[in-house]
Amino acid sequence: MRVSYLGPKGSFTQIALTKYFGDDLVQVSQKTIGDVFRSVELNDSDYGIVPIENSFEGSVNNTHDLLIGSDIQVYDEIQIRINQCLLTKTNDISKIEMIYSHPQSFGQCQKWLRNNLPNAQLIPVLSNSEGAERITSDNEACIGSKTLANLYSLNLLNENIEDSKENTTRFVILSHTQQDKSDNSKISLIITPPNSDASGSLYKLLKPFATEDINLLRIESRPLRGQLWRYVFFIDCEGHIDDKNIQNAMNTLDDLDINVKILGCYPSYKSS
């Protein structure tokens, strides 16, 4: 089995991959989230894993935008606690002038950075592992998992620098297949109203779920690219697509000319 992930080695996505799948598989590092999608779309990998949401910084917009246009589905989800570390080649924090990180990690550590390295240049990169790869001198540092220290011969200068100690990221597993129905199934949907800025459009979108007593777990809007001021809505709800109340809600939305794309049905993640 081959699984693509947002790399390089040592990324939080790889940590989530190992937690979900274990070690008995081929792990395929990809440079971007888009590359993970393409690897699964082209059947170069059986599964892909990408971040979709952080409890502190919110949604990973790139993942949401790619889900809009992709035919692959969400197979499952997993959450991991994110403990951010500052890694360098030096042991002297006063030497640090540049810090590499994924923008989400900068956001998760903004208070710590402001208090400890207010003058450092923050340089965004595609992943924290890429930031670790870039470090060549004592005036550079990166933010990421402690795993990066051994992989890239770096010093672990500070641990747990995230601003929220409940900092957690949700990852989704991508595939062409779906799981069987479970007792705690959830559904991920993309819903596109014909005119999202029309009066009452959001109410019309949500009313069928309320009428059928469907519990919504998450709702979020994203701009519909190429169409000015139009939006799509990402919705997670309890249930399975084969449930009668879900089918009734989908039929009502169809009657209202509201497009529904089913991203996947999978077990709702439960923290251990």
**What whole-number distance in Å separates Cα of residue 216 and Cα of residue 111?**
32
Residue 229: per-residue pLDDT:
67
pLDDT in tens, the chain (272 residues): 999 999 888 888 999 999 999 989 999 999 999 999 999 999 999 999 999 998 877 888 899 999 998 999 999 999 999 899 999 998 889 999 999 999 989 998 999 999 999 999 999 998 899 999 999 999 999 999 999 999 999 999 999 999 888 889 999 999 999 888 888 899 999 998 887 556 667 888 899 999 999 999 999 988 877 676 678 899 999 999 999 999 999 999 999 889 999 999 999 887 54
SS3 per-residue string spanning the chain? CEEEEECCCCCHHHHHHHHHHCCCCEEEEECCHHHHHHHHHCCCCCEEEEEEEECCCEECHHHHHHHHHCCCEEEEEEEEECCCEEEECCCCHHHCCEEEECHHHHHHCHHHHHHHCCCCEEEECCCHHHHHHHCCCCCEEEEECCHHHHHCCCEEEECCCCCCCCCEEEEEEEECCCCCCCCCEEEEEEEECCCCCCCCHHHHHHHHHHHCCCCEEEEEEEECCCCCCCEEEEEEEECCCCCHHHHHHHHHHHHCCCEEEEEEEEECCCCC
Residue 8: per-residue pLDDT:
86
Residue 23: per-residue pLDDT:
87
Residue 10: per-residue pLDDT:
87
Cα–Cα distances (Å) from 87 to 145, 152, 157, 164, 238, in that order, read: 9, 10, 6, 19, 41
Tell me the domains of the chain and their CATH numbers: 2-82+167-175 (3.40.190.10), 85-158 (3.40.190.10), 185-267 (3.30.70.260)
Residue 134: per-residue pLDDT:
94
Residue 133: per-residue pLDDT:
92
Residue 109: per-residue pLDDT:
93
Q: Are 215 and 238 in contact (CB under 8 A)?
A: yes
Q: Is 160 left (phi over 0), alpha (psi -120 to 50) or beta?
A: left
Residue with the two structure tokens 């992943």? 127
